[in-house]
Each structure stands twice: as structure tokens, then as C-alpha cells.
């Protein structure tokens, strides 16, 4: 395999995983806060639904996503009208990665927020801070180690995403082919050596990402 | 004037309070478990009574019959809780300025000078002693220009020597800021020394008042 091809696949995977991580942060923070601090009916349902991608077959999640973002799907139709095509593009790769990484991010951040002493939030409220200010100036900074650990875990999960990606993005060389997808394609077409090389690259990246997450956790005493 | 007339249920514990507080410093005095802190929490808006009303000055901040429940952030109550709860991730200066209200006349200088915390402003919270934390928490509460100051056992965490040094600061706040203070303590001597009126609380009820 050409060195350029390895770099291209690796670079594409890292870039899409990074974008996916950015994409999961805003809804992930909100959901983690909602589950840690919210008191509402149907909490258990929200909690369970968010974690579904963790236990469902990823291809099943991929199929649900495909139904939604396909040009005739409920979300896809709106996007198509705005001229945005998702299926079988890099955007589909990012979406699949974000959806699959979100549960890990939410669970980690939620545990971190639950560890933030509510007395600080109460103190901020008596000092005149509204819920948003309390969250951004008190809760979030105090839960920062968990947010970092959650982001690294989400990123690591995104790097290895395969099932949902293959369903909505396929394996188009130079367009949607990530490390995981390329390993599968190469192995299937008899390019075993190339597949093995990419396995080594994936292992190295995953190792660094997980070591980073563990380092953050152990340093700051958060459970990831 | 602070008008309290409410019932608050918390598991097996019921707090039933009716009182008008109109002195500069009122002490809530009673054994632990009497409900002293719960009264402060209710006034600050951190706990919701089952029924009744709470008045701060001429503002109704809680009235179950009229469905009024002003959130803690809009009650303009300075609350120094027993654990103080200074934000551990901010410097002393940022703590003190956290609740500063717009159009606030009180300057940082005035407050830091009165409580003698200027040398502490650039320190981090974990570096402070118990007595320093109390003064910083007091300064933080004052900077939010409260119309009422709630102090929960401000001297509980400090030794006898420091008590003697912190009391004058509280008296200074009373004399210079003219903010009414409700002060919780389980030490009768402390209550008698500082307060203009002592309210005796036991098992969620007022059992006596001393002026």
C-alpha cells in the first residue's frame, strides 16, 4: 500500500472523529446535565434511549439513521431542501460516529456532574446567577475532568466506528473510507498485509486516546 | 422586616414557623435538628415550604395561596452557609465579585477593607484558613447587595480565639451596611452577645423569644 493512502485514511478518520466529538459535545452536555440534575417524568426513558446505541447492533443503529437522513427520510427531506446531502458522504461518517460516541460521552459527563457538590450551585443561585450562568461558571468547570475524559472516550469510540458507518456512508475510497471500514474492505479483497498495517495504526491511536482518558481520570479522580 | 409564616415538611420533620423579625440582628437559636438551617434555606429560596408565606421587606418572595415563589437568584438574599461553599476553582477575587449586581454602589474596596481581606484577593480558595473563608464568604454575599443577610453558624468552624476576631466583622457589617441579619447558632452566649433578639427553636417550632 502506498504511504499516501495510509496517511489519507488515517487523516480522514482522525478528522471525522474530531468533528464527531465536537458534534456530540453540545447535546451531550445538555443531556448529561438533564440526567444528573433534572427532575422530570420519563427520565428513565431518556436515560435508556441515550444508551441504546451502546448495546444495539451498530448496523441496526445505522439502519435507523439511514431511514432518518435518507433524502426521503424525515430529517433528510429537510436537509435536502437546504441542499445538504448526507448519505454516502463524509457527513454521514461524522453523524454515525457522533451517534455512536454520544452515550459514552453522556455517561461520563453525567457521573462527573453528579459529583459536583450542589452547595456550590445553591451558593451561585443566591448570588443571583440564573441556571445557565450556574452551569457554565460553576457546574461545568467543576466537572471539567469528566468532560475531558468523556470527550476522549467519545473520540476513541468514533475512531473505531464501523457498523453504523458502513450503513449510511459506505466504503468509498477517498470519500467515506475510515480506518475501520478500510480494514474490512482490504481483508475482504485479499489485501491482508494492508489490513494488518491499518490494524496497527488503529491500535496505536486507540491506545493513546484511552491512555489519555485514563490519565485524566486518575489524575482528577473521576470515574470514566 | 422579615415576615415568616410557613410550614415546611421534610420526611418526618415538620417546620412550622410564624414570626416577624424587625431587629438589626436576629439569632435563631436551638439544638441541632431544630430546623434552624431549614428556615434559612426557605428564606433564601433553596427549599420550598408546603404552605404559607415569606416576606422580605415589602416583597412577597413566597406565597403558596397566590402561587408566588421567587427563585433564589432573584430574592437578593446574601447567604453564608455553614460550609461557606466558596467556589474552589476561582480565586478569592473572582469569588467576591461573582454576585456583584449591576448598578451596585458598594465598591470592592469598601468591602475588602471592612473585612480586611485585601491581601487574600489573589489567593486560591484551598489556601485559606477557616476564619479567612468566613470573611471571604461574607464579602461575597455583601457584594451582591443583599437586602437580607443569612449567616449559618458562622463561627462553628473556627476556634475560640478566632471567634473573638470574627465577631467584630459581623458587627461592622451590621453598623456600616445596615443590612438586617438573621444569624443561626447553637451557642446561647454567642446569640446573646450579638443579637438584638433571640428566637428559640426546637423540633421545628418557635418555643420562645428574648429581646
CA B59/CA A188 separation, integer angstroms: 75
B144 to chain A, closest Cα gap in Å: 6
% of chain A exceeding 90 in pLDDT: 79
Query: Which residues on chain B are in Cβ contact (under 8 Å) with A122?
Result: 46, 72, 81, 85
B206 to chain A, closest Cα gap in Å: 26
Question: Which tens digits make up the pLDDT trace of A71-86?
Answer: 999 999 999 999 999 9
Query: Which residues on chain B are in Cβ contact (under 8 Å) with A130?
Result: 73
Secondary element (H or E) of residue A66: helix A58-69
pLDDT of residue B82: 84
A38 to chain B, closest Cα gap in Å: 15
Residue range A7-11: mean pLDDT, rounded: 93
Residue range A124-145: mean pLDDT, rounded: 95
CA B76/CA B148 separation, integer angstroms: 7
pLDDT of residue A221: 53
Q: Which residue has the cell 490494524?
A: A199
- Which residues, other chains included, contact A100 with Cβ-Cβ below 8 Å and sequence gap of 6+? A53, A58, A61, A157, A158, A161, A164
CA B123/CA A210 separation, integer angstroms: 35
B85: contact with A, CB 8 A cutoff: yes
- In this predicted structure, the answer to whether residue A223 has a pLDDT above a threshold of 70 is no
pLDDT of residue A222: 46
Question: Which tens digits make up the pLDDT trace of A31-42?
Answer: 999 999 988 898
| Nearest-10 crossing angle of helices B160-177, B130-143 | 10
Look at residue A161 and give its three-state secondary structure. coil
CB count within 10 Å of CB A76 equals 19
pLDDT of residue B129: 86
Question: Which tens digits make up the pLDDT trace of B97-116?
Answer: 999 887 677 788 888 988 88
Secondary element (H or E) of residue A213: helix A192-220
- In this predicted structure, the answer to whether residue A194 has a pLDDT above a threshold of 50 is yes
The answer to whether the CB atoms of B81 and A129 lie below 8 A apart is no
Residue range B134-152: mean pLDDT, rounded: 92
Q: Domain map of chain A by residue range?
A: 3-220
- In this predicted structure, the answer to whether residue B21 has a pLDDT above a threshold of 70 is yes
- Which residues, other chains included, contact B67 with Cβ-Cβ below 8 Å and sequence gap of 6+? none
What residue in B sits closest to A119 (Cα-Cα)? B85
What number does CATH give the domain A3-220?
1.10.3720.10
Hey, which residues does B51 pair with through a beta bridge?
A: B7
Supply B181's cell numbers. 441579619
Hey, which residues does B206 pair with through a beta bridge?
A: B201
CA A60/CA A167 separation, integer angstroms: 9
B13: contact with A, CB 8 A cutoff: no
**Which of A117, A128, A146 to probe by mutation at the B interface, max B CB count within 10 Å?**
A128
Task: Check if the beta carbon of residue A164 is closer than 8 Å to that of residue A96.
Answer: yes
CA A125/CA B84 separation, integer angstroms: 14
The answer to whether the CB atoms of B45 and A124 lie below 8 A apart is no
pLDDT of residue A224: 40
Q: Domain map of chain B by residue range?
A: 2-210
Residue range A147-151: mean pLDDT, rounded: 93
Cα angle at B169 between B166 and B172, to 5 degrees?
A: 155
pLDDT of residue B91: 95
Question: Which tens digits make up the pLDDT trace of B69-102?
Answer: 999 999 999 999 888 789 999 999 999 999 988 7
CA B51/CA B49 separation, integer angstroms: 5
CA distance between the termini of chain A: 37
Residue range B48-66: mean pLDDT, rounded: 95
The answer to whether the CB atoms of B88 and A137 lie below 8 A apart is no
The answer to whether the CB atoms of A128 and B77 lie below 8 A apart is no
pLDDT of residue B187: 84
B133: contact with A, CB 8 A cutoff: no
CB count within 10 Å of CB B193 equals 12
Supply B196's cell numbers. 438584638
Query: Which residues on chain B are in Cβ contact (under 8 Å) with A118?
Result: none
Task: Check if the beta carbon of residue B125 is closer than 8 Å to that of residue B100.
Answer: no
- Domain B2-210: which topology? Rossmann fold (3.40.50)
Question: Which tens digits make up the pLDDT trace of A50-70?
Answer: 999 999 999 999 999 999 999
Q: How far is CA A156 from CA A51, A57, A137, A181, in A?
A: 17, 18, 28, 15
Strands B181-185 and B148-152: parallel
- Nearest CB to A141; choose among B44, B72, B89: B89
The answer to whether the CB atoms of A127 and B144 lie below 8 A apart is yes
**pLDDT class of A1 with cuts at 50, 70, 90:** low
CA B172/CA A2 separation, integer angstroms: 78
Query: Which residues on chain B are in Cβ contact (under 8 Å) with A120?
Result: 85, 87-88
Cα angle at A114 between A46 and A211, to 5 degrees?
A: 95
B134 to chain A, closest Cα gap in Å: 14
The top-scoring range by mean pLDDT among B15-24, B77-86, B181-190 is: B15-24
- Nearest CB to A122; choose among B46, B98, B144: B46
The answer to whether the CB atoms of A129 and B98 lie below 8 A apart is yes
Torsion of CA B17, B18, B24, B26, to 10 degrees: -40
Most distant CA pair in chain B, distance: 49
pLDDT of residue A220: 63
B111: contact with A, CB 8 A cutoff: no
The answer to whether the CB atoms of B99 and A128 lie below 8 A apart is yes
Least confident of B65-79, B148-162, B177-191: B148-162
- In this predicted structure, the answer to whether residue A219 has a pLDDT above a threshold of 90 is no
B73 to chain A, closest Cα gap in Å: 4
Scanning B135-154 for CB atoms below 8 A from A yields 140-141, 144
Supply A59's cell numbers. 448496523
B41 to chain A, closest Cα gap in Å: 10
Side-by-side strand order, sheet with B25-29:
B68-69, B59-63, B51-56, B2-10, B13-21, B205-210, B197-202, B25-29, B181-185, B148-152, B77-80
The answer to whether the CB atoms of B85 and A117 lie below 8 A apart is yes
Supply B130's cell numbers. 477557616
Question: Which tens digits make up the pLDDT trace of B170-183?
Answer: 888 888 888 899 99
Supply B117's cell numbers. 481581606
CA A80/CA A85 separation, integer angstroms: 6
Residue range B29-37: mean pLDDT, rounded: 91
- In this predicted structure, the answer to whether residue A105 has a pLDDT above a threshold of 50 is yes
Give Cα A165 distance to the centre of its chain.
12
* Predicted complex ipTM: 0.91
Task: Check if the beta carbon of residue A158 is closer than 8 Å to that of residue A178.
Answer: no
Give Cα B8 distance to the centre of its chain.
19
Amino acid at each position: 500500500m502506498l504511504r499516501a493512502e495510509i496517511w489519507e485514511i488515517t487523516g480522514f478518520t482522525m478528522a471525522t472523529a474530531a468533528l464527531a466529538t465536537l458534534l456530540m459535545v453540545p447535546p451531550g452536555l445538555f443531556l448529561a446535565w438533564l440526567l444528573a440534575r433534572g427532575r422530570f417524568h420519563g427520565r428513565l426513558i431518556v436515560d435508556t434511549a441515550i444508551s441504546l446505541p451502546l448495546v444495539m447492533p451498530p448496523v441496526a443503529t445505522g439502519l435507523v439513521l439511514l431511514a432518518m437522513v435518507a433524502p426521503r427520510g424525515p430529517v433528510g427531506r429537510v436537509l435536502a431542501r437546504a441542499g445538504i446531502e448526507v448519505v454516502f458522504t463524509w457527513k454521514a461518517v461524522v453523524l454515525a460516529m457522533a451517534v455512536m460516541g454520544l452515550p459514552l460521552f453522556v455517561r461520563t459527563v453525567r457521573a462527573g456532574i453528579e459529583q459536583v457538590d450542589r452547595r456550590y450551585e445553591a451558593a451561585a443561585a443566591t448570588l443571583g446567577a440564573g441556571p445557565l450562568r450556574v452551569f457554565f461558571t460553576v457546574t461545568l468547570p467543576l466537572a471539567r475532568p469528566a468532560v475531558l475524559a468523556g470527550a476522549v472516550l467519545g473520540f476513541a469510540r468514533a475512531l473505531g466506528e464501523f457498523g453504523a458507518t458502513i450503513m449510511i456512508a459506505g466504503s468509498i475510497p477517498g470519500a467515506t473510507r475510515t480506518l475501520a471500514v478500510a480494514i474490512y474492505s482490504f481483508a475482504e479483497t485479499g489485501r491482508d498485509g494492508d489490513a494488518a498495517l491499518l490494524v496497527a495504526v488503529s491500535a496505536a491511536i486507540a491506545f493513546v486516546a484511552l491512555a489519555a482518558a485514563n490519565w485524566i481520570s486518575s489524575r482528577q479522580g473521576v470515574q470514566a | 422586616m422579615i415576615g415568616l409564616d410557613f410550614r415546611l415538611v421534610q420526611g418526618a420533620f415538620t417546620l412550622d414557623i410564624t414570626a416577624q423579625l424587625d431587629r438589626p440582628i436576629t439569632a435563631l437559636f436551638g439544638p441541632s435538628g431544630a430546623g434552624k438551617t431549614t428556615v434559612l434555606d426557605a428564606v433564601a429560596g433553596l427549599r420550598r415550604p408546603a404552605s404559607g408565606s415569606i416576606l422580605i421587606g415589602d416583597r412577597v418572595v413566597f406565597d403558596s395561596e397566590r402561587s408566588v415563589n421567587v427563585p433564589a437568584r432573584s430574592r437578593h438574599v446574601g447567604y453564608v452557609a455553614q460550609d461557606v461553599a466558596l467556589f474552589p476553582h476561582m480565586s478569592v477575587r473572582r469569588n467576591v465579585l461573582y454576585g456583584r449586581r449591576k448598578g451596585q454602589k458598594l465598591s470592592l474596596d469598601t468591602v475588602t477593607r471592612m473585612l480586611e481581606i485585601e491581601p487574600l484577593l489573589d489567593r486560591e480558595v484551598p489556601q485559606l484558613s477557616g476564619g479567612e473563608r468566613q470573611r471571604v464568604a461574607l464579602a461575597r454575599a455583601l457584594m451582591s447587595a443583599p437586602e437580607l443577610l443569612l449567616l449559618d453558624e458562622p463561627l462553628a468552624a473556627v476556634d475560640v480565639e478566632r471567634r473573638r476576631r470574627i465577631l467584630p466583622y459581623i458587627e461592622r457589617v451590621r453598623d456600616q451596611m445596615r443590612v438586617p441579619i438573621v444569624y443561626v447558632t447553637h451557642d446561647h452566649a454567642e446569640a446573646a452577645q450579638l443579637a438584638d433578639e433571640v428566637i428559640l427553636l426546637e423540633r421545628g417550632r418557635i418555643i420562645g423569644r428574648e429581646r
